[in-house]
Structure formats: C-alpha cells, structure tokens
Amino acid sequence: MKIKQAIKIIGGQSETARRLGVAQSNVHRWHSGKAKIPAEYALEVEHLTSKKITRVDLRPDLRW
C-alpha cells in the first residue's frame, strides 16, 4: 500500500499525524487499511513526500 510508503518517507505515524494536524489514531487506521485517507490529506501527503507518493497513488478512486 502506498500510504505505508508515504508514512515511512514522512517519518512514521506520529510524525505524519503531527505534520497533517490529525490524531495518530487516524494515521494508524489509514496505515492498517481500516480507512482511506481523505482527499485533502492525500494532497498534503503528496506535498510532504515531494511527489514520491502522489494523490492518485493514495486515492485512485477519486477524480483528480
């Protein structure tokens, strides 16, 4: 899953949560596959990973 790669690039679940301004439990749900990352955060993750992981990688089900 691309979200796992993105979290690793950003510096782990806690750092990802801090940088996105969300609870670490939200990041854990994305990491475990229990929830999809919301579109607005997918865009920010794309930025935080310098486009190594894109919004389309994270949410191919959305029309970007």
Contact, 21 vs 38, CB < 8 A? no
Predicted local confidence at residue 2, as pLDDT: 96
Q: Is 18 contained in some domain?
A: yes
Number of domains comprising the chain:
1
- Provide mean pLDDT across the span 24-52: 98
Q: Is 19 contained in some domain?
A: yes
Q: In this model, does residue 20 exceed pLDDT 90?
A: yes
Q: Is 36 contained in some domain?
A: yes
Q: Is 54 contained in some domain?
A: yes
Q: In this model, does residue 3 exceed pLDDT 90?
A: yes
Predicted local confidence at residue 32, as pLDDT: 97
Q: Is 64 contained in some domain?
A: no
Predicted local confidence at residue 1, as pLDDT: 83
- Provide mean pLDDT across the span 27-45: 97
Q: Any residues with CB less than 8 A from the CB of 26 and at least 6 apart, and which? A: 17, 35
pTM as predicted:
0.93
- Cα gap 62→9, rounded to integer Å: 23
Query: Containing domain of residue 39, as a range?
Result: 2-58
Query: How many residues are given for the chain?
Result: 64
Domain containing 39 — which CATH number?
1.10.260.40
